[in-house]
Amino acid sequence: MTATVDPGTAPDTATVFDLAKQTVRALNAELHEPTARRYTVLNPQGAHAVAAGVATDLTIDVHGHVGYYAAGMNDGGRITIHGNAGTGVAENMMAGLVRVTGDASQSAGATAHGGLLVIEGSASMRCGISMKGVDIVVGGDIGPMSAFMAQAGRLVVLGDAGASLGDSIYEARIYVRGKVESLGADCIEKEMRPEHAAELAELLAAADMVADPADFRRYGSARRLYHFTAGNEY
Amino acid sequence: MCGIVGLHLRDPELYPRLGALLETMLCQMGDRGPDSAGVAVYGDHRRVPPGHSAVSLLPGDTPVDELAAALRAVLPGEPELVVTEAGVTTVVAAPVDRDALVTAARTALPTARVIGFGDDLAVYKGIGHPKTLAGVYDLANAQGWQGLGHTRMATESAVNPEGCHPFSVGPDQCLVHNGSFANHATIRRELQAAGHVFDSENDTEVGARFVADRLMQGEDLEKALRLLCERFDGFYTLLVTSADGFAVVRDAIACKPAIIAETDRWVAMASEFRALAELPGIEDARLFEPEPERVYVWTREGGRL
């Protein structure tokens, strides 16, 4: 479904949704067939699926903490959560920008195909699990088991990474500035070549984060788990 | 699924509001467990007056006046009892030693199930939607210094009051669980061999009896939960309370959610933030998710161990 808004007639001021008085269902119905270009969402109080399924380039500001699957399946929206996000923020994002000014719970950016997810605070376990092309930039730390089975995209961490980073990773690239508690199966440290420093600088700029690419180390797949091994003996 | 909520108050000014705060938290977790809900309240003087101990019961078909008369008859001095009926749960308080009260309840009411006992504790269980049950328990008017609740979506055993959390099998102890234990049958047999008697087929009861066993052997909550992590397989986020405090632990994979909020006035734990959203001062609370296999303990004095 494509919902179109005529930029010439859409109001420039943000349409306000107050979730203390209106339902998430009403909010999302409006966002799926928008009558404005900008939205402000108040009092989310940890509600689930806030601004899920946005399919156009709307600008949405959510003020407060959100629950599960906020901005899930985003396909072009520029969504800012001024607060913390629950499990699965921006899960399966296709395109657009999702920014969390606080911390994110588990499985941030899970299975996301595209777009940019910025978490200014820290992300909990399984950040970027099965990521399929999304870029994720985390200002703080990420929890254990992050980038598990990551297939494509880039994960940038300005803080530390928890245990088993990149377990069973395919082709995503991981950049960590701080300590890595441990690497998962088939994840190894790799050489930081000029093209990596260049793409890292671009990602940091896109995320509005200030850091020196030279301070980061790169991790990726050793490519030993691509094929079943015929020689297994039991 | 299942939802967990717990609130440990540091500021006595909040004690009269414990039940109202806990009710809001519990109802927010209704979607996570709409089949039954249980609650435990520490320090509710309406139910357990000072100088009394209490036993919480599922008395079955026994009418409450018969229950009270039978219990009173076997207690030394036949004291006046404080009896509270809350749906299928009955809480009885008496000015006697807690062990004497539990022994009396088991003697006088052999068909009743003891679902909690102690010097300070009332436990309520029931089937139905948490919103309805909060009314049945009169939670809004409960007072006290600590409470916890559980909304259940049954997986491991039947939907009945016995399978409802919290499991309270040691004095003033409670345990609520989101998840499922994989090796509970093995540990159940070991505990049975050591003399423990079980009330239900529920996996969580095994966890509660394991913790009670360790506490009885003189270990503290932190040690008991560390040992639980070593011994139990499966998924779990646990909230465990005792007369001394409040503890949280998650398994190594930690896929069952948990969030903790802490202020100078209280410590709260829930499955999701929305359960905490209405707590006073939440906007300035320290919010964090407990890490896998790390035991978090707060003591009644307010100092973290």
A134, A113 contact by CB (below 8 A): yes
For B259, the closest chain A residue by CA position comes to A105
CB contact under 8 A, B272 and A106: no
B33, B39 contact by CB (below 8 A): no
Taking the C-alpha atoms of A135, A162, A120 and A220 in order, what is their torsion angle to the nearest 10 degrees? -20
A78, A90 contact by CB (below 8 A): no
In this complex, the residue of B254, B255, B274 whose CB is nearest that of residue A47 is: B274
**pLDDT confidence bin for A234, thresholds 50/70/90:** low
In this complex, the residue of A45, A105, A106 whose CB is nearest that of residue B277 is: A45
B97, B77 contact by CB (below 8 A): no
CA pair distance B153, B1, nearest whole angstrom: 6
* pLDDT surpasses 70 at A10: no
B157, B68 contact by CB (below 8 A): no
| pLDDT tens per residue across span B122-148 | 999 999 999 999 999 999 999 999 999
Q: What is the pLDDT of residue B305?
A: 34
Q: What is the pLDDT of residue B6?
A: 98
What are the extents of the domains in chain A? 15-221
| pLDDT tens per residue across span B41-93 | 999 999 999 999 999 999 999 899 999 999 999 999 999 999 999 999 999 99
* Side-by-side strand order, sheet with A15-18: A15-18, A38-42, A59-63, A75-82, A95-100, A116-119, A132-138, A152-157, A173-176, A217-221, A187-190
CA pair distance B231, B111, nearest whole angstrom: 33
Minimum distance, in Å, between the CA of residue A168 and any CA atom of chain B? 16
Minimum distance, in Å, between the CA of residue B81 and any CA atom of chain A? 43
Mutate to test the interface with B, among A66, A81, A84, A107 (most CBs of B within 10 A): A84
Distance between first and last Cα of chain A: 52
At A65 the three-state DSSP class reads: coil
| pLDDT tens per residue across span B22-32 | 999 999 999 99
A107 or A230, which is more confident: A107
Q: Is A121 on the interface with B (CB under 8 A)?
A: no
Minimum distance, in Å, between the CA of residue B271 and any CA atom of chain A? 11
CA pair distance A18, B271, nearest whole angstrom: 24
> Helix %, strand %, coil % for chain A, to 5?
10, 30, 60
For A145, the closest chain B residue by CA position comes to B253
* pLDDT surpasses 50 at B153: yes
Q: What is the pLDDT of residue A206?
A: 98
Look up tokens 């996301």; give the residue: A112
CB contact under 8 A, B254 and A105: no
Q: What is the pLDDT of residue A134?
A: 98
Instruction: Report the mean per-residue pLDDT for chain A.
Output: 93
**pLDDT confidence bin for A225, thresholds 50/70/90:** confident
CB contact under 8 A, B277 and A65: yes
Instruction: Sort out which chain B residues have CB atoms less than 8 A from A47's CB and list them.
Output: 274
* pLDDT surpasses 60 at A95: yes
Instruction: Please enumerate residues of B whose Cβ is less than 8 A from a Cβ of A.
Output: 28, 253-255, 257, 259, 272-278, 287-289, 291-292
Domain B3-48+132-299: homologous superfamily in CATH: Aminohydrolase, N-terminal nucleophile (Ntn) domain (3.60.20.10)
Looking at domain B49-119, its CATH architecture is: 2-Layer Sandwich (3.30)
User: Residue A114: left if φ>0, alpha if ψ -120 to 50, beta else—which one?
Assistant: beta
Q: What is the pLDDT of residue A2?
A: 45
CATH classification of A15-221, choosing from 3.40.50.720, 2.160.20.60, 3.90.1150.10, 1.20.140.10? 2.160.20.60
Minimum distance, in Å, between the CA of residue A89 and any CA atom of chain B? 14
Cis peptide before B166 (omega within 30 of 0): yes
Active site residues of B: 2
Cβ contacts of A98 within 8 Å, gap of 6 or more: A71, A74, A77, A79, A80, A81, A89, A90, A115, A116, A117, A118
Residue A47: count other Cβ atoms within 10 Å of its Cβ: 24
CB contact under 8 A, B274 and A124: no
At A206 the three-state DSSP class reads: helix
CB contact under 8 A, A65 and B292: no
Minimum distance, in Å, between the CA of residue A47 and any CA atom of chain B? 6
Q: Is A46 on the interface with B (CB under 8 A)?
A: yes
DSSP labels for chain B? --EEEEEEE--GGGGGGHHHHHHHHHHHTGGG-BSEEEEEEES-TTTS-TT-EEEEEE-TT--HHHHHHHHHHHSTT----EEEEETTEEEEEESS-HHHHHHHHHHH-TTSEEEEEESSEEEE--BS-HHHHHHHTTGGG---SEEEEEEE--SSS-SSGGGSSPB--STT-EEEEEEEESSHHHHHHHHHHTT---S-S-HHHHHHHHHHHHHHTT--HHHHHHHHHHH--EEEEEEEE-SSEEEEEE-SS--S--EEEE-SSEEEEESSGGGTTTSTTGGGSEEEPPPTT--EEEETTS-B-
Q: What is the pLDDT of residue B89?
A: 97
CA pair distance A23, A19, nearest whole angstrom: 6
Q: What is the pLDDT of residue B244?
A: 87
At A96 the three-state DSSP class reads: strand
What percent of chain A is modeled with pLDDT above 70?
91
A28, A52 contact by CB (below 8 A): yes
In this complex, the residue of B254, B273, B287 whose CB is nearest that of residue A67 is: B273
Taking the C-alpha atoms of B227, B165, B299 and B254 in order, what is their torsion angle to the nearest 10 degrees? 50
* pLDDT surpasses 50 at A1: no
Closest CA to A218 of A195, A190, A193: A190
* pLDDT surpasses 60 at B274: yes
Instruction: Sort out which chain B residues have CB atoms less than 8 A from A124's CB and list them.
Output: 289
Instruction: Sort out which chain A residues have CB atoms less than 8 A from B288's CB and list them.
Output: 103
For A43, the closest chain B residue by CA position comes to B277
At A84 the three-state DSSP class reads: coil
CA pair distance A59, A29, nearest whole angstrom: 16
**pLDDT confidence bin for A228, thresholds 50/70/90:** low
In this complex, the residue of A45, A68, A124 whose CB is nearest that of residue B289 is: A124
User: In the numeric block, which tokens belong to residue B305?
Assistant: 């161990």
Any idea what DSSP says for residue A83? S
CB contact under 8 A, B289 and A65: no
**pLDDT confidence bin for B245, thresholds 50/70/90:** confident
CA pair distance B85, B203, nearest whole angstrom: 28
CB contact under 8 A, B254 and A125: yes
A47, A86 contact by CB (below 8 A): no
Q: Is A65 on the interface with B (CB under 8 A)?
A: yes
A residues 87-116 lying closer than 8 A (beta carbon) to B: 87, 103, 105-106
CA pair distance A49, B20, nearest whole angstrom: 27
For B278, the closest chain A residue by CA position comes to A45
Overall average pLDDT of the A168-195 stretch: 97
Number of Cβ pairs closer than 8 Å across A and B?
A: 41
**pLDDT confidence bin for B303, thresholds 50/70/90:** very low
User: What does DSSP say about strands A217-221 and A173-176: parallel, antiparallel, or unpaired?
Assistant: antiparallel
Q: What is the SS3 assignment for A168-184?
A: CCCCCEEEECCCECCEC
Instruction: Sort out which chain B residues have CB atoms less than 8 A from A67's CB and list them.
Output: 272-274
For B275, the closest chain A residue by CA position comes to A46
Instruction: Sort out which chain A residues have CB atoms less than 8 A from B255's CB and list them.
Output: 106
Q: Is A34 on the interface with B (CB under 8 A)?
A: no
Single-letter amino acid code for the residue at A82: H
What are the extents of the domains in chain B? 3-48+132-299, 49-119
